[in-house]
Chain A
Amino acid sequence: MNENTKKFPTDHLGGQTWVHDVLEPEQLSTAKGTFGRQKMGRATIFILWALRVYVVLMAFLIAWQITGPQVLHLHP
Chain B
Amino acid sequence: MSNKPVEIEVTLPTVAAEDIKRAMDRKRIHLLRNGRGKSRVLWLLWLLVGPGILAMLGENDGPSMISYATTGAKYGVGFFLPFIILTFAMAFIVQEMTVRLGAVTKRGHAELIYTRFGSFWGFFAMGDLVIGNLLTLVTEFIAVRAGLGFFGVPPALAVLGTFLVIVGVSLSRRYWTWERITLAFATFNFLFVPVAILAHPVSSQVVGAFFTWGPLPGGVTAGFILLLMSNIGATVTPWMLFFQQSAVVDKGYTVADIKQGRIDTGLGAVFAAITAIATVLATTPLFLNHIDPANFQGADFAHALVPFVGNVGATLFALGIFEAGLVAALTISSSSAYAFGEVTGRSHSLNSSLREGWPFYAIVVAAAGIAATLVLIPNVPLVYIVLIVNVLATLSMPPAIVFLLLLVNDREIMGKYANGRLANFFGIAVTLFLILAGLVYGVTVVFPQLIPV
| A residues lining the B interface (CB < 8 Å) | 1-9, 12-13, 16-20, 22-32, 34-38, 40, 44, 47-48, 51-52, 54-55, 57-59, 61-62, 64-66, 70, 72-76
Contacts and interface: CB of A to CB of B under 8 A. Distances in A.
Give the dominant DSSP class at B's interface: helix
Contacts of A3: 6, 8
Given A5-B7, A29-B16, A73 B222 contact: yes
Closest 5 CB pairs of A and B: A76-B218, A31-B13, A51-B399, A26-B106, A22-B23
Given A37-B116, A48-B402, A27 B20 contact: no
B388 A24 contact: no
B174 interface: no
Given A23-B19, A27-B19, A30-B16, A2 B388 contact: no
A13 B392 contact: no
Given A17-B12, A26-B106, A72-B223, 12 more contacts: A1-B1, A3-B8, A5-B8, A13-B14, A18-B23, A26-B105, A30-B16, A30-B19, A37-B117, A54-B398, A54-B435, A55-B128
Interface residues of B, number: 76
A46 B306 CA distance: 53
5 contacts: A8-B10, A27-B252, A29-B347, A37-B117, A59-B392
B438 A58 contact: yes
Given A61-B445, A75-B292, A8 B453 contact: no
Contacts of A9: 9-12
Nearest to B17: A29
A72 B10 CA distance: 68
A59 B224 CA distance: 20
Given A4-B5, A35-B115, A28 B445 contact: no
Nearest to B444: A72
Interface in B23-69: 23, 26-27, 30
A49 B391 CA distance: 21
B19 A19 contact: yes
Given A48-B402, A51-B399, A55-B395, A29 B18 contact: yes
B187 interface: no
A12 B14 contact: yes
Contacts of B223: 72-76
B412 A38 contact: yes
Interface in B211-231: 217-219, 221-224, 226-227
B217 A76 contact: yes
B202 interface: no
A64 B438 CA distance: 15
B6 A5 contact: yes
Interface string B382-407: 00100010011001101100110010
Contacts of B412: 35-36, 38
A76 B396 contact: no
B415 interface: no
B117 to A, nearest CB: 6
Contact of A23 (B6, B14, B23): B23
Nearest to A18: B23
A65 B8 contact: no
Contacts of A30: 13-16, 19
Contacts of B6: 1-5
